[in-house]
Structure 1
């Protein structure tokens, strides 16, 4: 039936593609938050949340204390229902989210090995986060 009617085959393939996209597309959840745990005592957690819709929450700058010991764990929440990251966190070396972010990620887990997240410019030192912004993943 499909071999004899190429137009029907094209319509069916297009319909499957549209439905697959509709199933995987999801609304970004509101009220993002990030949790950090630190390398030295007090270990944490430190949690930062921005309340609001994705349009309101995205891009708002929040300051952190700039701990020199670095973080061993961070995770941005909430996720999509299927577990994919809905939010990433742009992390800055300076307060006020000045310049380009040094790191943009949704999670880091170095707790099992006690490893801090290294500074991307000097892997021998921990990355010191002074401010963050949420960005949609």
Structure 2
């Protein structure tokens, strides 16, 4: 059947070439000089606090990375500070896909005071210190997600 139809032979060869190329192609880069998968959608952050109620407090911005990035979300501004914070989701290999820009005031005004993807002071009960005064806890009043 194939020998009698040169057009069919050509189509089969072309299909084999396309499938071979697709099977060996490297993952599409995400445009952030990291290579690999695209930034996952629907970022969220979880906070645990120094004093009761300990939490968790979770904030999520649903949507694609372009929609989610840069949207401001307010927090209650707890004066006891947080002892744990983690942004999700991560890339499949465990690298941070998102960071959280944290602001001292509501409305994400000015430059963020801290930008990080994770803080874990729970084992020692250590809160995240204010970068301007390390003797005080950092009081988060608003956040934005930024791609890591």
* Structure 1 and Structure 2 fold alike (TM over 0.5): yes
In structure 2, C-alpha distance between the alignment counterparts of 1:96 and 1:133, rounded to whole Å: 10
| Whole-angstrom CA distance in 2 between matches of 1:119 and 1:101 | 12
Deviations 1:99-135 (A, max 9, x none): 0000000000000000000000000000000000000
Q: Given the alignment, which residue of 19, 32, 36 partners 2:43?
A: 32
Name which structure has the greater RCO, CA cutoff 8 Å, separation 6+: 1
Q: Which residue of 2 aligns with 1:76?
A: 87
| CA positional deviation for 1:72 | 0.1
Matched residue SS, 1:112: coil
The structure 1 segments of at least 4 consecutive aligned residues displaced by more than 6 Å after TM superposition are: none
Q: Are 2:64 and 1:50 equivalent residues in the alignment?
A: no
Q: How many equivalent residue pairs? A: 120
Residue pairs, 1:88-99, within 5 angstroms: 88-99=99-110
* CA positional deviation for 1:19: 5.2
Partners of 2:42 and 2:28 lie apart in 1 by 25
Deviates more, 1:99-108 or 1:19-28: 19-28
Does residue 100 (structure 1) correspond to residue 111 (structure 2)? The answer is: yes
Of 112, 116, 129, the match for 1:118 = 129
Change (3 A) 1:30 1:21: closer
Q: Does the Cα contact within 8 Å between 2:28 and 2:38 map onto a contact in 1?
A: no
Cα RMSD of the aligned pairs, angstroms, is: 1.8
**How far apart, CA to CA, are the structure 2 residues paired with 1:80 and 1:21?**
14
Task: Please report how far the alpha carbon of residue 24 of structure 1 lies from its aligned counterpart in structure 2 after TM superposition.
Answer: 4.0
When normalised by structure 2's length, the TM-score is: 0.78
**Which one has a bigger Cα radius of gyration?**
2
